[in-house]
Amino acid sequence: MHWYRKTTEQALAELQVTPEGLSASEAQARLQQYGPNRLQEEEKISLPRLALHQFTSPLITILLVAAVVTFVLREWADTAVIAAVVLLNALIGFVQELRAEQSVRALKGLLVARARVIREGREQEISASELVPGDLVLLASGARVPADLRLLQTIELRIDEAILTGESLPAEKHSQTLEQDNLIAGDQTNMAFMGTAVVNGRARGLVVGTGNHSLLGSIAGDVRAIGTTKAPIQEKIERFAHTIGLLVLGACAALFFIGIALGGSAREMFMIAVAAAVATIPEGLPIVVTIALAVGVGRMARHNAIIRKLPAVETLGSTTVICSDKTGTLTRNEMTVTCLHDGQRFYEVSGSGYIPEGQIIDDAIPLLANEREELARLLRIGLLCNESELYRASDGDWHVDGDPTEGALIVAALKGGLHSEIEREQWPRQALIPFESERGYMASLHRHGDGGVIFVKGAPERVLPMCELDSAERDRLLQVAADIAARGLRVLAMASKAVAADHNELPQEALQSGLQLAGLQGMIDPARSEVIDAISGCHDAGIRVLMITGDHAITARAIAAELGIIADRDAPVITGQQLEEMNDEELYARVAQVNVYARVAPEHKLRITRQLAERGEIVAMTGDGVNDAPALKSAHIGIAMGKTGTDVAKEASDMVLTDDNFASIFAAVREGRVVFDNLRKVTFFLIPTGVAALFSIIITMLLGLPIPYVPAQLLWINLVTNGLQDVAMAFEPGERGILCRPPRDRREGLMSRLLIRRTFLVGGLIAAGVVLIYVQALKNGASLECARTQAVTTMVFFQFFQAWNSRSETASIAHIPFFSNPFLFIALLAASLAQLAVLYVPGLQWLFQTEPLALTAWLKILLVASSVVLVVEIDKWLQRRHQPPAHCQYE
């Protein structure tokens, strides 16, 4: 229902309310009808469901099947090993997701606790949850709006709606009826919405929407209705698992039937096939995926990012487009005066935000206000014709109590050398006319010395006609104001008028002429300085940054140009009104070129996000307002702000930034790329062993020889080569130039074409080396147990050398610091000792059917196994020749 189009009388009649408010019985009846005024509670964390979720990975499913098979065959040791891997993976995932959920829930606290209402003709305070449609609510400065209200009466009311509309300036409110249809929330100036904050003024409003029926609640409902977007890493692992499962099933079936055809027993060949399947399946991958993501979570936490879902870590690393809100995310959400004009010349104001540090600069020369009388008068008017206060909180941060615009004027005066206490003592205020949008200015009367003075500030088009200026000069100054506004700045004009000392009143008639112009002050919500570097880094990394804001197009374009989101101020900007006129096909075509969207509504953000995804982009959406929540949920990764973000936005997100800083996202992008790189390294490390095991068994069978391993030895190879090293590789540091690469092709799987080719190259080499050692041992008269021992040891040490190859796809191992990953060094040392124990400890010799090796055998094994390093190094060198590395500031 468009309440903003109804008159106050129609709204009261619609809800059957009198000016005395509801009776207690009627309020209770409506509470039963509409329910409490609170958003629907998110479903509590279900521990059993969270635990079961850990077993849904396709690779885990394959392992569970293998565990069942080994259990049926009474191979208890194999069953125990597989079960341990599955349970450890589940435990790590369970703990991480539980901790992330609890971290986000601890951030809650937006909704209003109490509200002042009129019921049965008297004012009373009640719990905001008891508000019902038809209640009459009283608003005052500093209060938070407890429900959606149709304003009935207003006095100088301004409301900060940044959490809802994205606008950095408070919205001026009134009670008049609006005739336009389809107005977005930011343009409904006779409405107040749940969760927004009253900056100044007072009002009486009629509750027209509570809880889930408020604007806040409807957006939360839209968020809940949006299905979860599957992370790219989840899709890649599922495809990889299905492919591996089919290949392993086919290869082991072929192995079984070849063995039968060559005279092997069915039971023996079945056990060999099962052992080969377990050896080939990278059962370490699920746990390494979880550990790598968990490591990424820890690293991102150091960059002020709380990860709610593990896959979000890698998703951020594969992002191709970041859609960001403006206010508070790209900007400081602190208005700042950056430009002064005293009627004749311009001054630059340095510094940013509410910190009163900076200078007034004229032609690169810093000035103090007392050095130029006209400059002092301009700054003094902004300081004293003002109802706000600047203060420093206990945490050391500077804040404004009141209007951000007035706070910016105070800060500018302090930068010019004026002192608030001294100025207020020398120019005590006698009377005040508050700002009203209909009037367009604010005025204050001050006593000074033997006389008095009136200070006025307001819109240039309203104040300049009140000044003693000829038409040519007035037109010139109006053009100056227009030029400043075209740069995205809000412009205020300052003027004064001397009066007699006994002048104690401030009639508006005295202000309509005779004012002396002091000048203009231009201000803007400034960009975060660190964000400029972050956006430049995103561009180097091949990531587009889009600004999607509820602010006006001129301001959005100016900030976007300053940040480097667009190349110049002539770049196209699409507004919400233009989006309303576009169908999805037209928007699909435009999202590829346009980087700035202004004056948009919540449904527009959602449409933009969906069309980007339709184009194959991996979309990250940042935001803090309720208006961001649907797009946060729909995006591949939603990034909410921890300080200023609403509950709805946080619950819809995959990641929460505790410092609300876009620059932290860029740091997290690097960690996301490191995670995926490490998953690829682990995969390249794990798969060749299985390929080599299958190849070597088939080759020896075709040669008419006994297979080079017994089932227990295959399982040992799997354990000793994959048990620790793969986990250690999850801790690999990022490679140089990781942010210089473009985002990965979304269609590319967990293994690139390069790694697939190299996997078969390495797998074939390992198989050939194992068969060579095995056949030579038999020819030299070694026993079958000794030959198999040499074959197993060769396979194990091939994989040890392969671990070093896997540390980079293209970089030579000579350029990778040996101890940059101490976990890998420790894992290889432990695995080597374990292999020696299998060869020389009697009990283990009996279990794995091994024999001690002579020194000559060791030399042959190490020489052959190390060949994998030489072959892969040559392949890397060829790769670097064809694809020279990119160069950028992050290399």
DSSP 539-604: HHTT-EEEEE-SS-HHHHHHHHHHHTSSSSTTS--EEHHHHHT--HHHHHHHTTT--EEES--HHH
Q: What pLDDT score does 75 carry?
A: 64
Domain membership flag for residue 422: yes
Residue 339 backbone dihedrals phi, psi, to 5 degrees: -145, 135
For the ranges 5-14, 672-681, 831-840, the lowest mean pLDDT is seen at 672-681
Domain membership flag for residue 404: yes
Residues 778 and 875 grouped into a single domain: yes
Residue that is last in its domain, among 632, 647, 665: 665
CATH number assigned to the domain comprising residue 452 = 3.40.1110.10
- Cα–Cα–Cα angle for 219, 223, 227, rounded to 5 degrees: 155
Residue 8's domain spans which residues?
A: 3-34+132-209
Q: What pLDDT score does 709 carry?
A: 85
Task: Decide if 325 is catalytic.
Answer: yes
Query: Which residues 6+ apart lie within 8 Å of 79 measured at CB?
Result: 67, 70, 71
The CA distance from 426 to 592, in Å, is 59
Residue 363 has pLDDT above 50, yes or no: yes
Residue that is last in its domain, among 617, 642, 665: 665
Domain membership flag for residue 185: yes
- Mean pLDDT over 353-367 rounds to 92
Report CA dihedral (378, 379, 384, 390) to the nearest 10 degrees: 160
The CA distance from 348 to 783, in Å, is 89
Residues 467 and 550 grouped into a single domain: no
552 vs 835, higher pLDDT: 835
What integer best gives the mean pLDDT of the chain?
84
Q: What pLDDT score does 230 carry?
A: 54
Domain membership flag for residue 382: yes
Residues 415 and 513 grouped into a single domain: yes
For the ranges 91-95, 258-262, 475-479, the lowest mean pLDDT is seen at 91-95
CATH number assigned to the domain comprising residue 619 = 3.40.50.1000
Residues 463 and 580 grouped into a single domain: no
Count of domains observed in the chain? 4
Domain membership flag for residue 99: no
Q: What pLDDT score does 418 carry?
A: 95
Domain membership flag for residue 373: yes
Q: What pLDDT score does 113 carry?
A: 65
CATH number assigned to the domain comprising residue 693 = 1.20.1110.10
Q: Which of 160, 325, 624, 654 is catalytic?
A: 325
How many residues are present in the chain? 891
What is the bridge-based pairing of β-strands 451-458 and 596-598?
unpaired
For the ranges 137-151, 248-262, 765-779, the lowest mean pLDDT is seen at 248-262
Q: What is the DSSP letter of 664?
A: H
Domain membership flag for residue 557: yes
Distances (CA, A) of 182 to 551, 580, 587, 631: 18, 10, 20, 21
Q: Which of 82-91, 409-418, 531-540 is the most confident on average?
A: 409-418
Residue that is last in its domain, among 491, 524, 557: 524
94-148 pLDDT, tens digit each: 765 565 455 444 433 434 467 899 999 888 989 888 999 999 999 988 788 999 9
Residues 605 and 691 grouped into a single domain: no
Interaxial angle between packed helices 753-779 and 662-702, expressed in degrees from 0 to 180 and rounded to the nearest 10: 30
CATH number assigned to the domain comprising residue 192 = 2.70.150.10
Domain membership flag for residue 9: yes
Of 109, 128, 108, residue with least CA distance to 117: 128
Q: What pLDDT score does 859 carry?
A: 95
Query: Which residues 6+ apart lie within 8 Å of 28 measured at CB?
Result: none
Residues 611 and 498 grouped into a single domain: no
The CA distance from 350 to 254, in Å, is 75
Q: Which of 279-283, 573-577, 744-748 is the most confident on average?
A: 573-577
Residues 626 and 655 grouped into a single domain: yes
The CA distance from 187 to 173, in Å, is 10
Neighbours of 149 (CB within 10 A): 29
For residue 362, what pLDDT band results from cuts at 50, 70 and 90? very high
Residue 404 backbone dihedrals phi, psi, to 5 degrees: -60, -35
Residues 717 and 780 grouped into a single domain: yes
Dihedral sign from CA coordinates of 662, 356, 564, 581: positive
Residues 490 and 565 grouped into a single domain: no
Residue 228 has pLDDT above 70, yes or no: no
133-191 pLDDT, tens digit each: 999 999 988 788 999 999 999 988 989 887 777 666 788 899 999 988 778 788 899 99
Q: What pLDDT score does 853 carry?
A: 92
Residue 567 has pLDDT above 80, yes or no: yes
Q: What pLDDT score does 461 carry?
A: 93
The CA distance from 619 to 596, in Å, is 15
Residues 651 and 593 grouped into a single domain: yes
Residues 519 and 571 grouped into a single domain: no
What is the bridge-based pairing of β-strands 171-172 and 122-127?
unpaired
The residue whose two tokens read 């008891």 is 130
Q: What pLDDT score does 107 carry?
A: 35
For residue 87, what pLDDT band results from cuts at 50, 70 and 90? confident
Query: Which residues 6+ apart lie within 8 Å of 524 measured at CB?
Result: 335, 336, 338, 488, 489, 490, 555, 558, 559
Residues 788 and 644 grouped into a single domain: no
Q: What pLDDT score does 672 carry?
A: 83
Q: What pLDDT score does 111 carry?
A: 43
Q: What pLDDT score does 336 carry?
A: 94
In b/e form, how buried is each residue of 657-673, taking b as 16+ CB within 10 angstroms?
bbebbbbbbbbbbbbbb
- Mean pLDDT over 749-757 rounds to 82
Residue 523 has pLDDT above 70, yes or no: yes
Contact by Cβ (8 Å): 123, 138: yes
Report CA dihedral (817, 822, 823, 827) to the nearest 10 degrees: 90
Q: What pLDDT score does 1 carry?
A: 57
- Mean pLDDT over 199-226 rounds to 82
Q: What pLDDT score does 740 carry?
A: 82
- Fill in the amino acid letter for 62: I
Q: What percentage of residues in the chain have a pLDDT greater than 70? A: 88
For residue 82, what pLDDT band results from cuts at 50, 70 and 90? low
For the ranges 404-413, 473-482, 557-566, the lowest mean pLDDT is seen at 557-566
**Can you give the pTM of this predicted structure?**
0.69
Query: Which residues 6+ apart lie within 8 Å of 216 measured at CB?
Result: 39, 148, 164, 193, 194, 195, 626, 646, 648
885 vs 847, higher pLDDT: 847
Q: Which of 239-248, 695-704, 877-886 is the most confident on average?
A: 695-704
Contact by Cβ (8 Å): 308, 654: yes
Residue 758 has pLDDT above 70, yes or no: yes
